[in-house]
Amino acid sequence: MLPDPSAETRFLTDRMLGTLSRYLRFMGYDTVSANGFAEGNAKEDTLLLNLALQENRILLTRDTELAARGKGQAVLMKSDDVMEQVQQLIDRGLIARRLRMTRCSLCNTELREATPDETEDADYAPQDKNGLTFFWCVQCSKLYWNGSHGRHISERIEQELKG
């Protein structure tokens, strides 16, 4: 049975899927990337499978063998193109087509509302703050606001994806 797309599906991505991880975080999904782990672990596949089971995450991978080992806990990503990957997850009913500013795209930490000081101190924030809501990643000390993910990504999610 497929999970309810309104429920928060959680993901674990292999090293081939760094861009997809960022997109999933842009979309508000809790996504751990293998790129955050130390390299050179000969048993990384087993580590990923165990972590997926322990934390009830769906393992997304470009590796046919790993996907087969993961059985119901893993999904083989068919394309190298990030939009096709996102579409595959929508088609599988694993995610909804939406953008939510709830997680840091770099580190997956949940964002909180930014304080006025944090907003003022970020020289990359827009000068005109009217109508904007600001969020903060305590892990990266990074400021986000509605629109900061770039019009590009919002437009791609809204226009190119079906579902």
Q: Of the two residues 29 and 45, which places its CB atom closer to Zn ion in the complex?
A: 29
Q: Does 140 bind Zn ion (CB under 5 A)?
A: yes
* 107 is an interface residue for Zn ion by CB under 5 A: yes
- Sheet with 134-137, strands from edge to edge, namely 112-113, 134-137, 142-145
Contact between 106 and Zn ion per CB under 5 A: yes
Q: Which two tokens stand for residue 100?
A: 């939510």
Piece in contact with Zn ion (CB under 5 A), picked from 29-37, 41-49, 118-126, 133-141 = 133-141
> Does 137 engage in binding with Zn ion (CB under 5 A)?
yes
* H or E element at residue 52: helix 44-54
Residue 135 beta carbon to Zn ion: minimum distance, rounded to whole angstroms: 11
Minimum distance between the CB of residue 11 and Zn ion, rounded to whole angstroms? 17
Region binding Zn ion by CB under 5 A among candidate stretches 50-58, 62-70, 96-104, 152-160: 96-104
Six-digit token string for 33:
């990337």
CA distance 104 to 106: 5
Locate 128 and state its tokens: 């005109």
Which listed range, 11-19, 34-42, 49-57, 107-115, lies at the site for Zn ion (CB under 5 A)?
107-115
Beta strands in the chain (DSSP E): 11-13, 31-33, 58-61, 74-76, 112-113, 134-137, 142-145
Among 77, 104, 111, 157, binds Zn ion (CB under 5 A): 104
Residue ranges that bind Zn ion, judged by CB under 5 A: 104, 106-107, 109, 137, 139-140
